[in-house]
Chain A
Amino acid sequence: MSVVRDIITVAGVSAGVFFFFAGTVGLLRFPDTLTRLHALSKADNLGLGFVVLGLLPQTGGLRDGLKLISIWMFVLLAGASVSQLIARTARQSGSGK
């Protein structure tokens, strides 16, 4: 069983790393604020989600698993709200290019 758990972890974390990588490439290469935010939210939402999914089989119990999932939920909430605020400020100040 531990081999199956390890395989899930490697697959999940690798998928997460892929989305973080894609998000970082987008942050460096995309032309304006709005598209860069779009790239970053990939890393926050999907990347961290896959990392948490991959780590879940390694947790000691239900409590640790719930902690990991709630960390993901908090990052989703904060990331989505802050992206929205940055996007609004960028559009209002006309620097959204």
Chain B
Amino acid sequence: MSIATVFEIALAAVVLGLAIWTIAVPDTYSATVGFIAYGLLVALIWVRLDAVDVALTEAAIGGGLGGVVLLGAAARLRDTEAMTTEAPSLIVRLSAAILSASIAAALAVAILLLPDPAPTLAPEVVSNSGATGMANPVTNVLMAFRGMDTMLEKVVLLLAIVGVWSLASDQAWGGRPGLRHQADPNGVLAFLARLLPPAGIVVGIYILWTGADHPGGAFQGGAVLASMWLLVIMAGLADTPPVRSRWLRLILVSGPGLFLVVGLGGLCFGPAFLAYPVAFAKPLILGIEVAMLLTIATTLGLLLAGAPERSAE
């Protein structure tokens, strides 16, 4: 058995153990911390499967920003948790276990019943990759061959932010999300928030740019930019923008909007919705990705900041 195999078996065992621990542990905070560690280890599994694009997204969203959202939720739930100490009844727990086990069994059967070799579109994707002028097959699939899915995904992000904003009280509607953060202006956090963003912004833009030919892209770069923005907000160097702000809403719709415009252009002047003219495929896709980078970074930052809680003044 090679070292790599031993490592993979150990990794799988630790991930399964963490998953069980996350479910079994009684308090929300510990479960959240377990889930964050689980997300980071699952990112390692994606790396072992040579799916570096997925690994980047899993580490940034599953381990990073998703973890922070859950930590915030756990902190808010802490007051109510003390009151709900009684465990669910045996029947509820038993039916939940049976439901989970049958879903797992159905998935296992589906995988085991796959014909060998499994049906795949991968060779077709690789043979058509020259059509867009980009070498990264994942970007080709996301932006060109299955562009519709990616566009709808960005619309879902818009719906998510509308959902979060809808939780605001009537007085705070249109105001600034979250509390005003106060930090020592000469403290460590303010120092980090001044030092890190210039480098972080370069890294975020680099991840977007390199996504054309290597693993990377708007989602991963946007997550880096969002974390830089949140760092500055948490250090008290900037405030969250009021959600009624016109430019903020413009940025939020710019990514899906540009995608839609380019898609309709393909319908009017080309063969189909979202069909890029071959000569302009690369610049068009990069243009959409730049707009999406801004939209994703702003959306992720605002999702973490939460519902408006203060008036804009």
Interface residues of A (CB under 8 A from B): 74, 77-78, 81, 84-85, 88
Contacts and interface: CB of A to CB of B under 8 A. Distances in A.
A85 B195 contact: no
The 9 closest A-B pairs by CB, nearest first: A81-B192, A84-B188, A81-B188, A85-B188, A85-B189, A77-B196, A77-B195, A77-B192, A81-B189
A85 B183 CA distance: 11
Interface in B172-189: 188-189
Contacts of B195: 77
Contacts of A84: 188
A55 B188 CA distance: 31
15 contacts: A74-B196, A74-B199, A77-B192, A77-B195, A77-B196, A78-B192, A78-B196, A81-B188, A81-B189, A81-B191, A81-B192, A84-B188, A85-B188, A85-B189, A88-B188
A88 B196 CA distance: 21
Nearest to A83: B188
Contacts of A78: 192, 196
Given A77-B196, A88-B188, 13 more contacts: A74-B196, A74-B199, A77-B192, A77-B195, A78-B192, A78-B196, A81-B188, A81-B189, A81-B191, A81-B192, A84-B188, A85-B188, A85-B189
A74 B199 CA distance: 9
Contacts of B188: 81, 84-85, 88
A41 B192 CA distance: 17
Interface in B185-221: 188-189, 191-192, 195-196, 199
Contacts, number: 15
A60 B125 CA distance: 28
B186 to A, nearest CB: 13
Nearest to A70: B199
Nearest to B200: A74
B243 to A, nearest CB: 28
B294 to A, nearest CB: 23
Contacts of B196: 74, 77-78
Interface in B230-261: none
A38 B308 CA distance: 39
A78 B196 CA distance: 9
Contacts of A74: 196, 199
B49 to A, nearest CB: 21
A25 to B, nearest CB: 17
Contacts of B192: 77-78, 81
Nearest to A81: B192
Contacts of A88: 188
B128 to A, nearest CB: 28
A95 B230 CA distance: 27
A77 B191 CA distance: 10
Contacts of A81: 188-189, 191-192
Contacts of A77: 192, 195-196
Contacts of B199: 74
Nearest to B199: A74
A8 B189 CA distance: 37
A84 B187 CA distance: 10
Interface in B148-168: none
A88 B192 CA distance: 15
A84 to B, nearest CB: 5
A6 to B, nearest CB: 13
- Among A78, A81, A84, max chain B CB count under 10 A is at A81
Nearest to B196: A77
- Among B188, B191, B195, max chain A CB count under 10 A is at B188
